[in-house]
Copies of this chain bind each other. A is one copy, B any other.
Amino acid sequence: MATHGTRGRSGGRPTLEEVAARAGVGRGTVSRVINGSPRVSDATRAAVEAAVAELGYVPNTAARALAANRTDAIALVVPEPETRFFAEPYFSDILKGVGAELADTEMQLLLIFAGSDKERRRLAQYLAAHRVDGVLLVSVHADDPLPDLLSQLEIPAVISGPRSAAESLTSVDSDNYGGARSAVEHLMSRGRTRIAHITGRLDVYGAQRRVDGYRDALRDAGHPVDDLLIEPGDFTEEGGHRAMRSLLSRCPDLDAVFAASDVTAAGARQVLREAGRRIPDDVALVGYDDSAIARHMDPPLTSVRQPIEEMGRRMIDLLLTEIADRRPAMSRGLERPQMVLATELVTRASS
């Protein structure tokens, strides 16, 4: 027993070495078993596993991180104040997908908010210390320095939403163009001809793509595109009110409205009601997001569903691949992938 009892912070957790002694093998072999290396005989593996179970061995993450230069953790960075994170279902859906995909991995997920400048600075320190193997960046604004910082530090990262010009990070987005097209095509198939569009904030790339989809759908069907039928909004209910009022006064003959978000559609609906237009009899209405609002609206709102949860899952897939690939051939000149997921039109009574 008392070999040379130097160690023994008594009750301490068992180490690799102790497991090795117990199993009658070497340190390296235990390490191989723990890490699932195939080059271990079945008998040895069994012996080691028994020792691990008997001793209740749990690897020391810090030691592993130090020796292997990895942390087995990835961060979900939300460059927003916490309040927005909780207010918008977008984030919780992403998180759900991410969590599901990560569930059978050894990776640990950290949630980091970087809304304030102070938090930003902390995050920069955190990343500089390489405390995570990779980063998921959701909701990046146009002039955000974070993507640049990440590629400078050579930290694998995936961003959600459309990739803006400069950055070279992998991204996952939903098909805003296609989603808009399907909404407009649906309205045309219902016999509507004077279809208006209330846009989102046009400094958001996705909103711009929806306008493109709207235009192209009309043009390809041989309809003229009447610019008077396009009114800028800002994704809010308020914006929906304003836009709908000006549309009604400008084009009283419109028979359908495609809004760039469900919330905007709700605002439009209210104005339409007040103006005595029945939905869908007089004016058909289609929204975007397929949020809870859409289901509970009266009448229930046809809306374009984005596969947000799946976006979360894909982001993790891509990130894990990138982390795994980093070692063999770092940045082998390949273009970073940009994945675009299909949307789905959910038809309800409003159209």
> Considering the chains assembled together, what is the distance between the CA atoms of A96 and B115 in angstroms?
12
> Considering the chains assembled together, what is the distance between the CA atoms of A89 and B99 in angstroms?
21
Determine whether the beta carbon of A82 is less than 8 Å from that of B99.
yes
Determine whether the beta carbon of A129 is less than 8 Å from that of B58.
yes
Distance (whole angstroms) from the CB of A17 to the closest CB of chain B: 15
Segment at the interface with B among A105-113, A159-167, A169-177, A249-257: A105-113
Copies in the complex: 2
Interface centre among A60, A62, A99, A125 (most CB of B within 10 A): A62
Determine whether the beta carbon of A82 is less than 8 Å from that of B96.
yes
Determine whether the beta carbon of A86 is less than 8 Å from that of B82.
no
Determine whether the beta carbon of B65 is less than 8 Å from that of A62.
yes
Determine whether the beta carbon of B61 is less than 8 Å from that of A129.
yes
Q: Mark A46-62, 1 if CB is under 8 A from B, else 0.
A: 00000000001011111
A275 within 8 A of B: no
> Considering the chains assembled together, what is the distance between the CA atoms of A111 and B60 in angstroms?
21
Using known A-B contacts A62-B65, A63-B66, determine if residue A108 contacts B131 with beta carbons closer than 8 Å: yes
> Considering the chains assembled together, what is the distance between the CA atoms of A147 and B185 in angstroms?
56
- Inside 8 A of A128's CB, which chain B residues have their CB? 56, 58
Q: Which of A92-111 contact B (CB under 8 A)?
A: 92, 95-96, 99, 103, 108, 110-111
Cross-chain pairs A/B with CB under 8 angstroms, 15 sampled: A58-B128, A58-B129, A60-B66, A60-B130, A61-B129, A61-B131, A63-B66, A65-B66, A66-B66, A82-B95, A83-B92, A83-B96, A86-B86, A99-B113, A108-B126
